[in-house]
Structure 1
Amino acid sequence: MRETVVTREMIANPKTKYGRAKAATRHFFTQRVTGAINIVFLGLLLFVVLRLAGQDRTDMVAVLGNGFVGLPLAALLVVVTVHMRNGMRDTLEDYFHGDLYRLLMLLNTLFCILIAVAGVAALLKLVFWG
C-alpha cells in the first residue's frame, strides 16, 4: 500500500481532499465532548479531594467505596483516558509520520487502556469489595 504524501500546496488548496473527513469530525467531536464531561466531573473530583484531605486509609476506603462516589469516579477515569489519548494523538500527528507514528499511536493507546483498566479495577474493587 502506497502512502500519499501531503504537500503544502495540497493543504492550501481548499478543493483538495486528503485524510478521512469522518474520522477527523469524530475526533473533533470526541475531544470536545470528553472535555465538557471532564469539566462537569471536576466538581465531584474536588469534593473527593477535599473530603479526603488529612484522612486516613479507612476514611478513604469508606468514601471511595460508596457507589455514588466510586462509580462516577470510574466513569470519569475512562473519559479522562479517552481525552488523554486524543490529545496525545494531536501531538503525535504534528511531529511523527509513517511507521513511527503508527507505533507511537499504538503505544499511546495501550498506555491509556492500561491506565483506564487499572484505575477502574481499583475503584470497582473498593466499591464492591471494600
Structure 2
Amino acid sequence: MKEQIITRDVVANPKTKYGNAKASTRHFITQRLTGAINVLFILFLVFIVAKLAGADRADMVATIGNGWIGLPLALLLVIVTIHMRNGMRDTLEDYFAGRAYSTYMTLNTLFCVVIAVAGVAAILKLVFWG
C-alpha cells in the first residue's frame, strides 16, 4: 500500500480523511474548557500565594492541609496538567510525525501523569494526615 504524503493541500482538501474529527473536537473543547477553568482558579491561587507570603512551614502546612483549600488545589493541579498535556500535544503535532510523534506524546502523557499524581498525593497527604 502506497503511503500518502501529507501536504498542506491534502490537509486543506475537505474530501481527504485527515485526522480523527471526534478526537479533534474533544481536544479543542478540552483545551478551551480547562483554559477557562484555569482562569477562574487563578484568583484562588493568587489568594493562596498572598496568604502564604512570608509564612513559615507550619502555617503553610496548616493552610494547604485545610480541606477547603487543599482539595480545590489538588483539583486545580489535575486540570492544569490536562491543559499542559493538550498544549504540548499541539506543539508535538507541529514538529513530529509518525513514530517520533507517538513516542514523544507517550512521554508527554507520562510526564503529566507523574506530575499530577505526585502533586495530588502530596496535597492529599497534607489534607488527610497533616
Tell me which interval the TM-score lies in, with the shorter structure as reference length.
over 0.9
- What is the aligned partner in structure 1 of residue 24 from structure 2? 24
- Corresponding residue pairs, total: 130
Distance 1:12 1:28 in 2: 18
Per the TM alignment, residue 60 of structure 1 is displaced from its structure 2 partner at its CA by 0.1
- What is the aligned partner in structure 1 of residue 115 from structure 2? 115
Cα deviation, 1:24-49, whole Å, max 9, x if unaligned, reads: 00000000000011011111100110
The answer to whether 1:65 aligns with 2:65 is yes
- What is the aligned partner in structure 2 of residue 45 from structure 1? 45
- What is the aligned partner in structure 2 of residue 106 from structure 1? 106
RMSD, matched Cα? 1.4
- What is the aligned partner in structure 1 of residue 81 from structure 2? 81
Distance 2:60 2:85 in 1: 29
Distance 1:3 1:39 in 2: 43
Structure 2 counterpart of 1:129, one-letter code: W
Structure 2 counterpart of 1:99, one-letter code: R
> Unaligned regions of 5+ residues in structure 1, if any?
none
> Unaligned regions of 5+ residues in structure 2, if any?
none
Structure 2 counterpart of 1:11, one-letter code: V
- What is the aligned partner in structure 2 of residue 126 from structure 1? 126
Q: Report the TM-score when normalising by structure 2.
A: 0.95
Structure 1 counterpart of 2:111, one-letter code: F
Per the TM alignment, residue 13 of structure 1 is displaced from its structure 2 partner at its CA by 2.0
Structure 1 counterpart of 2:11, one-letter code: I
- What is the aligned partner in structure 2 of residue 93 from structure 1? 93
